[in-house]
Amino acid sequence: MNFDFTKILLAIIVFLFSIIAIKVTLSFNLNEYLKRRDKKLKGKIKNYCTHANIKNFDDVIGIESSFISPSGTTNWICEKCGLQIYHLDKKGEKRKFEYFFKNPKKFKKQEKKFQKLLKKAGFL
């Protein structure tokens, strides 16, 4: 009788330990998953960013690049999404602005998706 009791107690202890072990691995995996999801989302945000702002230049609506070059560096960083580039292709930027200017609906659509992703990632 006594022997059985210790066996049961041991079984309970083993059971408890296994629960703890499962919990630890679960929370660990969850953290990994969240981190991976975060990384994926940040990549998506950078993909959907227009890297441009619509601005009013003396009553004329124009498109302005959101890339800035912080002093002391030659890199360019997008103010909106944080994308870092080492060389700003000015011709490419101009082409992009012209495209958005001719297709304002595309700009709005992309901007909408970008805002949605920002919200999803908790930036807004």
Residue 92 beta carbon to Zn ion: minimum distance, rounded to whole angstroms:
14
Residue 79 beta carbon to Zn ion: minimum distance, rounded to whole angstroms:
7
Residue 81 beta carbon to Zn ion: minimum distance, rounded to whole angstroms:
3
Angle in degrees, CA 44, 69, 75, rounded to 5? 70
Question: Closest CB to Zn ion among 80 and 117?
Answer: 80
Query: Can you tell me the distance from the alpha carbon of 25 to that of 20, in angstroms, rounded to the nearest whole number?
Result: 9
Q: Residues in the site for Zn ion, rule: CB under 5 A?
A: 49, 51, 78, 80-81, 83
Q: Pick the closest to residue 89 from 105, 59, 67 (CA basis).
A: 67
Tokens coding 19: 């629960």
Tokens coding 100: 């958005």
